Structure 1
Amino acid sequence: MLHTSPENNLILVVDDTLTNLEIISVALIDSGFTVITAINGEQAIQQIESRLPDLILLDVMMPRMDGFETCQKIKANPLTQDIPVIFMTGITDTDSKVKALNLGAIDYITKPFQKEEVLARIQTHLQLRNLNKNLEKIVAERTAKLDRTLRELQEFQVQLVKQEKMSVLGQLVTGIAHEINNPVSCIYGNLGHALTYFQNLINLIELYQKNYPEPVEPIQDAITAMDLDYVCDDLPNLIFAMKEGIQRIRDISNGLRIFSRADTENKVECNIHEGIDSTLLILKHRLKGSEISLPIEVIKDYGDLPLIECFPGQLNQAFMNILANAVDALEESNDKYSLEQPKQISICTMLSEDENHVLIKIKDNGTGMSSEIQQRIFEYLFTTKPVGKGTGLGLAIAHQIIVQKHQGNLEVNSQIGMGSEFIITIPNS
């Protein structure tokens, strides 16, 4: 059982009768308690404000401010509301006792009282208070520990999801890129030869036309049917268009490999702009717009950045999550936008003034968010999207990648109706 040492406890005795005040004070001091006194409610409040007692013995019948009003003021103050109050009075009616207890008093001692009874009740209530304090401390410590454990578990779960997602994506993209590259390289390489062959054939036809200007009727009919002049003019254009299409496929394949590149245990030097461009390449189908949605204009303002030591694959995932969030915000309402006010995402990169950090600012002119949402936007599993539309992991993962993995910073500035800006800060070292 927890025992309370009197020497460690301060008792405030409030009574307008000096004889009662002296008798109680002497008894308490003889028992080892530290005692302070007050002869009315106002003085008691002043004593409490200067030094918080561990327990208050409070007389009911006092001039100007009686014990009930004094108790009410004590319990109304968050700093003093937990101090045990024991009423002392000669009034013995039930209504007064009920009123005292309803005001927050823990006990009611009627006069005349026995010294041993008063001391026993004081000791009991002090022990109960100390038990409550210890219990509250234990609960607070365990709650904090549980919060830490839950946070660590959530971070671990997010890490697993992120690693598995990137691992699967990396394997998928690597396989697709490999399968695409072989036929694409074949087509791209042969298009040049095909153009040369066609040009040689056209030259040969022109040579025949020059030396045999009057072809026989079947040949003339074939020339007319195929519109030979148009074919000769248009065929090089077709070849060039095909080469551009194949080059586009090669760029997409290369962008996918850049985006999903596997990270090593150590940071490597990386071109930040390549990572952002590869992310935009993957999101291009969402930027084009549709029959029911206007396209999204991307404005890039890239600064002159050095190669940055980072984990490229993870950093690209952070870019993807932030940019996808911006696209989601712009897709929420089409009524706001028009040809005069298009949907826009601006991406600005620069070095900090001391050149020790790289800044990446991603801003949209979407619906924006309230300050309450901004405070929770990076929490695990927090989402404002409808059920089935969002997991609440995207921005939490981005925050984890930038802050924990890269010792950087991710913050958001936003206003309702004014869009949002995410500012990424990464050490330049």
Structure 2
Amino acid sequence: MQKADVILVVDDTPTNLRLISEALTDAGFEIATAINGEMALKQIQYSLPDLILLDVMMPGINGFETCKRLKENAATCDIPVIFMTALSDTDSKVKGLSLGAVDYITKPFQEEELLARVKTHLELRSLTKNLEKKVVERTAELSLALEDLQESQIKLVQREKMSALGQLVAGIAHEINNPVGFISANLEHTEEYFKALVNHLQLYQQEFSQPGMKILEDAEDIDLEYLLTDLPKIIGSMQQGTERIRHISNSIRIFSRTDSDRKVFFNIHEGIDSTILILQHRLKANEKRPDIVMIKEYGCLPNIECYPGQINQVFMNLLANAIDAIEEANQERSFEEIKAYPNQIAIHTNLTEDGTGVVIKIIDNGAGMSEDTKNKVFDQFFTTKAVGKGTGLGLSIVRQIVVEKHGGTLEVKSIPGQGSEFAIALPVKAEIID
């Protein structure tokens, strides 16, 4: 059974209270009464009516002041107020309506008119409430749809970005491997051929101890003794160079690993090292600052079950952001100041106490963040960078990969002017999330 609407009748005349109450009760309404404005305001503190019939002319607080106080109170401001008055002048009506009243009933009034006006305004209030409810519900639906759309956009950006990056660097690694393999193989043959020629030359020197002036002069011109000493060193340096290129190519391959449809076991430290190598050019000294010092304190970690390509993207975004924060801080410092207090990024890894997870901390001594920025840093499309410099997706994608894709946690600590620390915790054994 539907609950009856409650109507508060405020009038200092007992006869009016009785007549109005009887008419409204017969019409099915629940009635509350008050003989003045003070009593009405006190009564409303304990029970809110659905509509108020308010007499204008009352001792103490009159109807206009009572209405004003009702509309100033957040709990009562939306309750419809209908004034009851013998005053019929336009100024009084305008004043009442300007204070927030919805209607006027002039005394003496007809019962049919009273009931019609009460029912009309109760229906209007009900319709308003339903409309507000629908607006709230629709707004919530639209907000959820917007969140889903933004989530889909992030996933699409992440997928396309990783796919394009993976194809690019994998292609580069492949192109590097071919000539490097050719050079490396030929260096081995070159070294063997050189040793054979040296042995042959030494045999000539033994068999022909007096080679003649032309040969002696030519040996002096080409500095034969130095050549025989230095050429093996050159070949050795070239071999070291090719091994270095092989290492770079292997790091690129590790970084660009395309994810399968399931998680695989992966060496976290290899992922970090490959990412650092990709960013090496940004760590080197330039005319404005010395090298950014990279400090690595690795614990003894097992391989973890994850999507390697996505985890490498987390390292890439966090390390690139750390470098950006350092560059931002450097704008306020001279070369000598930076040299005295060097730029640095520290990476700490360790196993959790229970052995079920790993923790990776990336700490920089860059510009740091305010409390407001720190609270928004993982929000979608939030960025502190200038227009065209950032999408606001980097750290949002990091959070999605760590928390949603791998069931881990991501925390940030930061102090303006001192730097930031991002702590990633990942389970060793994959959880069923996708």
TM-score by length of 1: 0.90
Letter in 2 for 1:315: I
Deviations 1:143-187 (A, max 9, x none): 111121122122222222222222222222222222221221232
1:265 aligned partner: 261
2:367 aligned partner: 367
1:352 aligned partner: 352
Task: Tell me: CA distance 1:101–1:168, structure 2 relative to 1, closer, same or farther (3 Å).
Answer: same
Indicate whether 1:31 and 2:27 are aligned.
yes
Indicate whether 1:43 and 2:56 are aligned.
no
Letter in 2 for 1:272: I
1:382 aligned partner: 382
Q: In structure 2, the residue corresponding to 1:338 is in which secondary structure?
A: helix
Correspondent of 2:212 among 210, 213, 216: 216
Q: In structure 2, the residue corresponding to 1:261 is in which secondary structure?
A: coil
**Aligned 8 A contact 1:7 1:34 in 2:** no
Unaligned runs of 5+ in 2: 430-434
Deviations 1:53-83 (A, max 9, x none): 2222223333443333332332223232222
Bigger drift between 397-406 and 184-193 goes to 184-193
Once the two structures are aligned, what percentage of the paired residues are identical?
59
Indicate whether 1:19 and 2:15 are aligned.
yes
Task: Tell me: CA distance 1:351–1:125, structure 2 relative to 1, closer, same or farther (3 Å).
Answer: farther
Measured in 2, the distance between the counterparts of 1:14 and 1:351 equals 72
Q: In structure 1, the residue corresponding to 2:345 is in which secondary structure?
A: strand
Q: In structure 1, the residue corresponding to 2:410 is in which secondary structure?
A: strand
Q: In structure 2, the residue corresponding to 1:269 is in which secondary structure?
A: strand
Deviation at 1:263, TM superposition (A): 0.9
Q: In structure 2, the residue corresponding to 1:246 is in which secondary structure?
A: helix
Deviations 1:177-226 (A, max 9, x none): 22221221232233344334434444555565567666533333323333
Task: Tell me: CA distance 1:40–1:365, structure 2 relative to 1, closer, same or farther (3 Å).
Answer: farther
Q: In structure 2, the residue corresponding to 1:50 is in which secondary structure?
A: coil
Unaligned runs of 5+ in 1: none
- 1:391-406 pair list within 5 angstroms: 391-406=391-406
Deviation at 1:109, TM superposition (A): 2.4
Deviations 1:278-301 (A, max 9, x none): 111111111114223443222222
1:326 aligned partner: 322
Indicate whether 1:148 and 2:166 are aligned.
no
Indicate whether 1:311 and 2:325 are aligned.
no
2:178 aligned partner: 182
2:425 aligned partner: 425
Indicate whether 1:125 and 2:121 are aligned.
yes
Measured in 1, the distance between the counterparts of 2:155 and 2:167 equals 18
Task: Tell me: CA distance 1:355–1:98, structure 2 relative to 1, closer, same or farther (3 Å).
Answer: farther
Measured in 2, the distance between the counterparts of 1:395 and 1:298 equals 21
- Structure 1 vs Structure 2 CA RMSD: 2.4
Letter in 1 for 2:357: H
Indicate whether 1:165 and 2:149 are aligned.
no
Correspondent of 1:240 among 236, 258, 265: 236
Correspondent of 2:280 among 271, 278, 284: 284
Task: Tell me: CA distance 1:201–1:423, structure 2 relative to 1, closer, same or farther (3 Å).
Answer: same
Measured in 2, the distance between the counterparts of 1:355 and 1:103 equals 68
Structure 1 runs (4+) deviating above 6 angstroms are none
Bigger drift between 310-319 and 210-219 goes to 210-219
Task: Tell me: CA distance 1:422–1:90, structure 2 relative to 1, closer, same or farther (3 Å).
Answer: farther
Task: Tell me: CA distance 1:182–1:130, structure 2 relative to 1, closer, same or farther (3 Å).
Answer: same
Letter in 2 for 1:346: A
Deviations 1:308-338 (A, max 9, x none): 1111111211221222122222222423351
Bigger drift between 216-225 and 151-160 goes to 216-225
Letter in 2 for 1:245: G
Measured in 2, the distance between the counterparts of 1:46 and 1:215 equals 127
